[in-house]
Structure 1
Amino acid sequence: MKIKAYLNKNQFHKAPLSCLDWSNNEEIYSVSDDHQICKWSSVLRENVEIAKLPEDFIPTDLHWTVSKSGGKGGGDSLLISSNDGRFIILNKSARLERSIAAHTMSITSGRWSPDGASLLTASEDGIIKIWSRSGMLRSTVIQSDESIRCARWSGNSQSIAFCQNGYILVKSLAANSKLTKWRAHDGLILSLSWSPTLNLIASSGEDLRYKIWDQQGVNIYISQTSDYVITSVEFSPNQDLLAVGGFNVLKLCSSNGWSYNNCRFNSPPLGSIYNIIWSPDGTQVATGSSSGNLVFGHLFDHQLYSKNLKVKTTGRKSIFLKDIVSGSTDVLDFPDRIINLALNYGHLVVATPNQIHIFNENYINTPIIVDGRSDTKILELGKKFFLAVDFSSIWIYSYTGRLHLNPRFPGSQAQIQNVIKRLISIGLDVLAVRDSSDTSVIYIFDLMPGASRQVEPLAINTKTHVLEVATCRSGAPEDQYLVYIDVNRELFIISTKGGNDETPQKIGTQVMSVMWGSATNILVGLHDNCYSIWYCPKESSNDQILLALTTITHESSEFGKNVALESFESAVITFCSSGALFTINVNIYCEIMHHCLIAGQWQKALNICRIAQSTVLWATLAAYASKHNQLEIGEEAYSAALQIDKVDYLQYIRSLPPGGPEQMAENSLMLGRLIEAETILIHNKKVKEAIALCIRMHNWRRALDIAEKSQINLDVVLIERAKYLQALGKEEFDTRFLKIEK
């Protein structure tokens, strides 16, 4: 990824340009000490004077409201703050809507909230105030004696970050919340940015560095000392990118801090760069300078790899495609600029401002074009369908260009602005999306034609806030799973099919990010200084010993710091660190065995394990065999994995009538599915056996319920309950049993 920057030759401001913002994806509004409000078009490269401010109004900040249509229609309210403590609100036609005296000293930051419902003003008088959209004062959030240099909203509009001297402070708007404060720079902090997608904070200051933090003040990255002061930092709204500005230089960095490339402006000198701004679609950047010039830039050299295909954007409207195996190349030109692209499963999908282009690798010159999809911010490809998210809705398309589903859930229209890539995932037959208003709820949509969950999704309620979701991308239709990472960085897995006894199972801790394999249900997760591979995550989740046997953890320190997951195709996992790509292979025997298990080729899978003689393989086969009632294969696999207790239990299960309800129930019980085992017995009119099962599990109330309802073995339940209490040395305490005894 690189950025190509242009210096606008037609300088239209005579004073330093520090106040500018995109009103939509094509237009930039700017104002400086010369009091002129100007509009510049990135398409026409022309500048138009819109209005002129009063002579006594010296602007210090400018910000447009976030457009509800993603920037195409543009924001409808322009906020401009001044050095005398006033701020004004203008409409799209530059007509004055409000003029309010907010502070006694200069306003350093005036910002609309990401949801557009309110605005904040921060001033040199040490006060931060929250105002309504119409300009009514709601609250005074911060009152201090030190001046505030900069303030920014969090992505969910629930917190504010601001800086005083060399300190960064984070204040939640929740009642009775505490202030988080940490020393960030040795000198004065000049700029702040809070990423809406990653929840990271970037800062720059007079100590010639820029730094990246999480919201608790933990340092993620510290840059090398620059030759000059770093005057501006800004995260991209949709991508994991950070723009950094200094004296005569504009730098594009990863959100982890390392640099992609630098754009230098030495001839003619540009001066210090102020107030970097990204377009709403995250593909263009603009900034003002101390010389009054406007700098415009766009992204290019975005590279994607999938098996034998390599794709690279070579300009705003062109893509270079290469088949690495055959050596053939092609150039794809588009009528509009490229704002997003994705490559996988033999297809390349490219989004422009008004269209989506679908290319098949075998028919690259005859794309399928979908019209009417504007400003697509998320593209994710699945095996059967692909996902496109714009600023109005979520869309599921087939690779023939047919609209398959437009999923909606309660409040989805209002939440679509907050949907980011980590919170939505498309699998083989399902779509998962986290609710933005209630962050502990995940909605599961079924993509199978005619399924009821296309209209009424399954809601999975978790105990804590969810930070990331991922659905498996392959496997058999009955083996479809969802994993999610909660706020405590714990990894949970659950079946997407739902069920009475389906509860999330914890399979990992301190997990930063996860990714499913493209061809198998193998999962890779990244920790701080290592990575883990779960070869059988769901089938072994009920058994901690089996889970440990099928999970391999390796150190990632050899890759460097700030490692990120790039892709997981077939048996190859790709990591990215400081711009370099590192690949590792999962156990190839396990990869082949997974394909055999999906196809139901149990004997081949067994032969692979006998050849490889790996504990991971045997444990994986044992977990799959137990789930699919392959008792003989499971017995051999458990024996090879040295799980002797499981072998004894399987021998007992095999002694039961083959294919009978007792055998099926015992097998479900071995997998930890108590409700399923009980249901099998009751549906097959094995009531006595169901009661005995509940007694074995010490589920006394359920045993009593079944006995009372069927009027069978009530005395047996009471006798066994008495023996149980006598063994514990306790008296009866359950009110239901006490009533029966009376």
Structure 2
Amino acid sequence: MKLKTRICKKNSLNAQELRGNSALQKTGAEDPQSQQPTNYPLSCVDWSSNEDIYFVSDDHQIYKWSDVSRDSVEVAKLPDDFIPTDLDWLLLGGRSSGGGKGSDSLLICSNDGRFVILNKSARVERSIAAHTAAISSGRWSPDGAGLLTAGEDGVVKIWSRSGMLRSTVIQSDEPIRCARWAPNSTSILFSQGSYINVKPLAANSKLLRWRAHDGLVLSLSWSMQSNIIASGGEDFRFKIWDTQGANLYSSAAEEYAINSVAFNPDKDFLLVGTFNMLRLCSSSGWSYSSTRFAAPSVGSFYTLSWSADGTQVACGTSTGQLIVGYVVEQQLISRNLKATTTSRKSIALQDLTNGTHDVLDFPQRVINFGLGYGHLVVATTHQLHIYNEKYINTPIIIDGRSDVRVIQVCKKYFLVLDNTSIWVYTYTGRLHLNPRYPGSQAQIPLLNWRCLSLGLDVLAIRDNSDTTILHLFDLIPGASRQYEPHSLRAKQQLSEIATCRAGTVDDQFVVFIDTNRELYITEARNLNGTTERAGNGATSSPGEIYKIGTQVIAVKWASETNILVGVHDSCYSIWYCPGEGAADPTIIALTTVTIDTAEFGKHIAIESFEDAIVSFRCAGALLPVNVNIYCEVLHRTLMDGQWQQALKICRMAQAACLWATLAAVTTRKNQLQLSEEAYSAALQIDKVSYLQYMKTLTPASAEQMAENSLMLGRLVEAETILLHNRKFSQAVALSLRMHNWRRALEIAQKHQAEEQELLETVLKERSKYLKALQRKEWDELYLTFAPKEKDDSSSD
């Protein structure tokens, strides 16, 4: 992957293409005479749209450079005593707005402690004296509700959008060099000397502080994608941290100080700027490419600003140069297809099996693209292009989709997240679903790929206002859940979600990782869920939630089977039966394989999981790993209902994970004969005995189906089956077996008219229970049925 760059000046941009010896391509340039550096460093640069850049330096002139005209014009002039130090746009209706109303606003800070707020027409709305010394950083909050200013007087202040002071967050004697918002606008990140500080805005919260560099910390960036922090310092290094101050990556020493770092808003990129050099890195720290600007020299990169669509970057240098970069050579591989961006408006599509090569040219700039299941989906500035590998010359074009940030392809549908909504399309270009849920429109600007997951027939969306809630949409045509999603609530905040991409209609699962890095799984399409009260209404839980892993960093489902792979700190795990076996810890233990990754190195990421091959990426290298091919084939035969063929595979391979997978799936499908043999081969003797008891019941009867559900850990489902078939005494007996005394009494009272002895049975069993414990009744519900003691004390 590379970064094309062009050098821009205030009034002209022409010339030729220059190629350096490094891996980064440099374009642009003016004639050597016009390349003389200006007297004013350029430290204030930001995008007002995906085509326009505003910049200002010590000459007090505010300029706008347009990507369309390739020229810059003067917009306004600042007062002579106002020397700018920082600049930031609030784009209402874009990513940072949070769905708010109003006009776009420009924030400019100065070295005398003032800041001004300008509108789109460059008219000053507010001018405020905020600090007693120079303001080092001024930034709008990601939700657009306010702004922060941090100064060399050691003070950090929070202001409203209109410029009213809300609070003084930090007061200290040490100057603050740089300050940034957390992605969720609930914390402030700032640097003092060689230390980094994180201050939550909640009341009575403690300041987190750690020593980050051997010299001054010059720049900071907080990733909206991964919730990690990057810093650059005078010790010639850039480092990556988690939010608790643990060091995730530390670079080798460069030749000069690291003046600027900036995470990409949409992708896992980190751009690092130093003297005469830009380096494009992964968010894990390893480098994609770098370029040096030796001739002409541009000096140190003081500021880096990514555009809202995440495809372009504007850089300001110490010599007054404005440099615009564009990421190229992004590459996606899916089975036999490889897609690579070759320029701003072209993608090379290669078929690796037959060697064919096509170059796809677009009339507009390519913003995003997705590849998979024989299709290539390309998003330009205002269109979607859908390519089928068999008909590459006749794409389907959809107009009206702009600023596409996320594209996810699946077997039947593909998902698009743009600046207005979430869209699910078929590969014929037909809109299948435009999901809505309470507060969805306000959350659109803050959603990213970690909040969304498109599965085979289910779409999962994490609620951004309450990150413990997950909304599940049914993609089957005509399903009511297309418009009224089921929602489930987790115990902790969710950091990543993933919906399975294969299986049958009834075997759809979703996994999620919470902030404690614990992995949970639940059924996505089980309609026999319970309802619980959420903060703003009732939320329905589609099924039970089971914990299947700990210390998990990232997960990915296989493309054609329900096999799951997850990455830990120093190992990775493969769950061969995470869905059907989730209710039984023994089955999860038998079907989970954990493998050490010491030979891979640190910070590995899952690139893809197609068929039986998992591709990991570590330090830029792709590392393919095979999963158990027998399990892959077994899952395919089970999805097709080929029970005898599945049994032959297990008998041939004779592996415990295969037998356990077969046992879990056949039990779920009520194939008791196969399930008994599978459990026996897996040495689960207790389950074999239970299955033998179930075989004594009438086949396909309500009792047998209820016992089968009970064996799978579905207590609510088992009770529902019995009650639906009017087996009230059996339902009461089930609750008594589970020692659910209140539920047993509730069922007995509700259906006492049908079977009068139900209440008597429950009270009798309760009496035996209390007698065995040698205790008196304490439950209020049962106290109403307890015999009253005679009152011997009576007045004469």
**2:328 matches 1:283:** no
Shift of 1:43: 2.8
Spell out the pairing of 1:98-113 with structure 2 (5 A cutoff). Answer: 98-113=126-141
- Pairing partner for 1:717 from 762, 785, 791: 762
Gaps in structure 2 of 5+ consecutive residues: 9-29, 531-542, 788-796
User: CA–CA distance in 1 between the matches of 2:738 and 2:376?
Assistant: 53
- Partner of 2:343: helix, strand, or coil? coil
Alpha-carbon displacement from aligned partner over 1:631-655 (angstroms, at most 9, x marks no partner):
0000000000000111111011011
**2:185 matches 1:163:** no
**2:63 matches 1:38:** yes
What residue identity is the alignment partner of 1:733? W
Shift of 1:560: 1.1
2:42 maps to 17
- Pairing partner for 1:50 from 75, 82, 93: 75
**2:547 matches 1:522:** no
Shift of 1:337: 1.1
CA contact (8 A) 2:90 2:96 kept: no
User: CA–CA distance in 2 between the matches of 1:426 and 1:67?
Assistant: 28
CA contact (8 A) 1:631 1:654 kept: yes
Shift of 1:116: 1.5
Shift of 1:303: 0.7
User: CA–CA distance in 2 between the matches of 1:398 and 1:675?
Assistant: 36
What residue identity is the alignment partner of 2:389? E
1:363 maps to 391
> Which segment is superposed worse, 389-398 or 670-679?
670-679
**2:785 matches 1:740:** yes
Shift of 1:95: 1.1
CA contact (8 A) 2:96 2:141 kept: no
User: CA–CA distance in 2 between the matches of 1:441 and 1:127?
Assistant: 36
CA contact (8 A) 2:86 2:138 kept: yes
CA contact (8 A) 1:59 1:82 kept: yes
User: CA–CA distance in 2 between the matches of 1:406 and 1:488?
Assistant: 32
Shift of 1:75: 7.3
- Pairing partner for 2:602 from 561, 573, 582: 561
Q: 1:36 to 1:281 in 2, by over 3 A?
A: same
- Pairing partner for 2:323 from 277, 295, 301: 295
Shift of 1:140: 0.6
> Which segment is superposed worse, 461-470 or 160-169?
461-470
Q: 1:299 to 1:75 in 2, by over 3 A?
A: farther
Spell out the pairing of 1:298-309 with structure 2 (5 A cutoff). Answer: 298-309=326-337
Spell out the pairing of 1:141-220 with structure 2 (5 A cutoff). Answer: 141-220=169-248
Alpha-carbon displacement from aligned partner over 1:213-241 (angstroms, at most 9, x marks no partner):
11110111000011111111010011100
CA contact (8 A) 2:96 2:144 kept: no
**2:258 matches 1:230:** yes
Shift of 1:70: 4.8
- Pairing partner for 2:680 from 639, 644, 648: 639
Spell out the pairing of 1:639-718 with structure 2 (5 A cutoff). Answer: 639-709=680-750, 710=752, 711-718=756-763
CA contact (8 A) 2:145 2:161 kept: yes
Alpha-carbon displacement from aligned partner over 1:543-587 (angstroms, at most 9, x marks no partner):
111110011111122211110011111111111111100111111
Alpha-carbon displacement from aligned partner over 1:489-526 (angstroms, at most 9, x marks no partner):
11111111242362211111111111111101111111
So what's the TM-score if we normalise by structure 2?
0.92
- Partner of 2:648: helix, strand, or coil? helix
**2:577 matches 1:577:** no
What residue identity is the alignment partner of 2:767? A
Spell out the pairing of 1:490-509 with structure 2 (5 A cutoff). Answer: 490-497=518-525, 498-500=527-529, 502-509=543-550
- Partner of 1:170: helix, strand, or coil? strand
> Which segment is superposed worse, 232-241 or 33-42?
33-42
- Pairing partner for 2:116 from 68, 88, 96: 88
- When the two chains are superposed, the root-mean-square deviation of aligned CA atoms in Å is 1.5
So what's the TM-score if we normalise by structure 1?
0.98
**2:160 matches 1:137:** no
What residue identity is the alignment partner of 2:269? L
Spell out the pairing of 1:341-360 with structure 2 (5 A cutoff). Answer: 341-360=369-388
Alpha-carbon displacement from aligned partner over 1:682-718 (angstroms, at most 9, x marks no partner):
2222222222222222122222222233222333222
Alpha-carbon displacement from aligned partner over 1:575-634 (angstroms, at most 9, x marks no partner):
111110011111111111111111111111011000110000000000001111000000
> Which segment is superposed worse, 689-698 or 545-554?
689-698
1:2 maps to 2
Q: 1:93 to 1:713 in 2, by over 3 A?
A: closer
User: CA–CA distance in 2 between the matches of 1:556 and 1:64?
Assistant: 43
- Partner of 2:190: helix, strand, or coil? strand
> Which segment is superposed worse, 678-687 or 322-331?
678-687
User: CA–CA distance in 2 between the matches of 1:179 and 1:66?
Assistant: 30
User: CA–CA distance in 1 between the matches of 2:96 and 2:308?
Assistant: 6
Spell out the pairing of 1:547-626 with structure 2 (5 A cutoff). Answer: 547-626=588-667
- Pairing partner for 2:84 from 54, 59, 63: 59
Shift of 1:74: 12
User: CA–CA distance in 1 between the matches of 2:102 and 2:340?
Assistant: 30
Alpha-carbon displacement from aligned partner over 1:342-377 (angstroms, at most 9, x marks no partner):
000100000000000000000011100000000100
CA contact (8 A) 1:23 1:75 kept: no
User: CA–CA distance in 2 between the matches of 1:714 and 1:458?
Assistant: 35
Shift of 1:296: 1.2
> Which segment is superposed worse, 534-543 or 68-77?
68-77
Alpha-carbon displacement from aligned partner over 1:297-317 (angstroms, at most 9, x marks no partner):
100011111111111111111
- Partner of 1:741: helix, strand, or coil? coil
User: CA–CA distance in 1 between the matches of 2:775 and 2:599?
Assistant: 57
Q: 1:703 to 1:74 in 2, by over 3 A?
A: closer
Alpha-carbon displacement from aligned partner over 1:6-51 (angstroms, at most 9, x marks no partner):
2223669541111111111111111001111111112322111111
User: CA–CA distance in 2 between the matches of 1:132 and 1:708?
Assistant: 58
- Partner of 1:436: helix, strand, or coil? coil
User: CA–CA distance in 1 between the matches of 2:54 and 2:38?
Assistant: 12
User: CA–CA distance in 2 between the matches of 1:689 and 1:371?
Assistant: 59
- Pairing partner for 1:29 from 54, 62, 86: 54
User: CA–CA distance in 2 between the matches of 1:116 and 1:51?
Assistant: 24
CA contact (8 A) 2:108 2:138 kept: yes
Q: 1:604 to 1:610 in 2, by over 3 A?
A: same
CA contact (8 A) 1:70 1:390 kept: no
CA contact (8 A) 2:474 2:482 kept: yes
Shift of 1:446: 1.3
**2:584 matches 1:543:** yes
> Which segment is superposed worse, 530-539 or 617-626?
530-539
User: CA–CA distance in 1 between the matches of 2:757 and 2:370?
Assistant: 61
**2:360 matches 1:332:** yes
- Partner of 1:464: helix, strand, or coil? coil
User: CA–CA distance in 2 between the matches of 1:243 and 1:222?
Assistant: 15
What residue identity is the alignment partner of 1:34? D
Q: 1:654 to 1:335 in 2, by over 3 A?
A: same
User: CA–CA distance in 1 between the matches of 2:763 and 2:260?
Assistant: 75
